[in-house]
A = this chain, B = another copy of it.
């Protein structure tokens, strides 16, 4: 391994790339990682000098607080390459702000902006060959922070590790998914951590989602825990409903993640003159709209899946099927988002961030 120093980051390059061992036509989401990873430890009350080094296992004490108390947050972002080989991130400032908002709620120290961006950019330059051009290809980036202090008292840790790992991705969920509207289980409470990308929010959904999958539904649309009468989000995606020509999506609150794809779609809808109401959405109104033919589409929006059309929902034991139109809003937004992300369409809002 050769050691070099780029600005403040200490870099140890991999002696040999693994890229030739990877079949980019047959990628499962999040299973293959690039040659390098970014690591920065919080010790003695401050973030220490960041490092980039070969991707690989790390050593950690069994008493590290992340294992016992779930003091951990993450982000999901993607890098895209255009046909000229230029590399872009999409609204990375949003992810930076959100990981620190998540960290604050989980009593984790905030991460410096310069380290975040310098880390991402240096890593992307080193592993640029892993980003394949073409719509549908991307490099999924996973910044995350874990509490590493080796002591099992139930209080905030004094040491942490911030990391970025990268995994090449093809588009996630190519087929339409069927969902269940939650009636028994819940994702988050008022006054809880649902708005944060806190690790524990995700593991808590696995069991109810497994139950749904056994019944033929891939995901759950979570409802408010108090009444199960209002539709909130899908756990890894925010949710949009098209009733007539109008879009409706739930407002952000302390239970719902402030999704970057969600807020981009709200802006794009405004650009295109599509009415979009951000307000509480009741299960009853969506069932009524399905019955009277006004419900045209439901789709999920998130970094991993971009826009994911939903072909049916179940509630109270009844399944409601959606017509999947060729001119759907889901297709329009997906095409527009991918066009901007891959530098094939005008970026009127300055969302692309070129990595140079």
Contacts and interface: CB of A to CB of B under 8 A. Distances in A.
Interface of A: 28-31, 33, 37, 55-63, 65-72, 74, 104-107, 142, 144, 146-147, 150-156, 163, 165, 167, 182, 184-193, 198-207, 209-210, 225-226, 228, 235-236
Given A67-B66, A72-B68, A31 B104 contact: no
A29 B65 CA distance: 13
Contact of A206 (B55, B66, B71, B204): B71
Contacts of A193: 200, 204
B69 A203 contact: yes
Nearest to A228: B191
Of A31, A55, A184, which is in contact with the most chain B CB atoms at under 10 Å from its CB? A31
Contacts of A55: 62
Contacts of A186: 189-192
Given A152-B142, A189-B189, A235-B154, A63 B165 contact: yes
A236 B206 CA distance: 24
B187 A72 contact: no
Contacts of A155: 206, 209
Contacts of A30: 63, 151-153
Of A72, A74, A201, which is in contact with the most chain B CB atoms at under 10 Å from its CB? A72
Q: How many protomers of this protein does the assembly include?
A: 2
A23 to B, nearest CB: 16
A190 to B, nearest CB: 5
Given A106-B207, A189-B192, 19 more contacts: A29-B153, A30-B152, A31-B153, A37-B62, A57-B61, A58-B62, A62-B163, A68-B199, A69-B200, A70-B70, A70-B201, A107-B210, A142-B152, A152-B167, A155-B209, A188-B192, A190-B226, A192-B225, A200-B201
Of A56, A57, A163, which is in contact with the most chain B CB atoms at under 10 Å from its CB? A57
Nearest to A236: B154
B146 A67 contact: yes
Nearest to A211: B107
Contacts of A150: 31
Nearest to A225: B189
Nearest to A196: B204
A31 B182 CA distance: 41
Contact of A198 (B65, B107, B200): B200
B201 A106 contact: no
B104 A207 contact: yes
23 contacts: A31-B151, A57-B60, A58-B59, A58-B60, A58-B62, A63-B142, A63-B165, A67-B144, A67-B199, A70-B70, A71-B206, A107-B206, A152-B167, A154-B202, A154-B235, A185-B192, A187-B192, A190-B226, A191-B225, A192-B225, A198-B200, A200-B200, A226-B226
A203 B67 contact: no
A348 to B, nearest CB: 32
Contacts of A104: 207
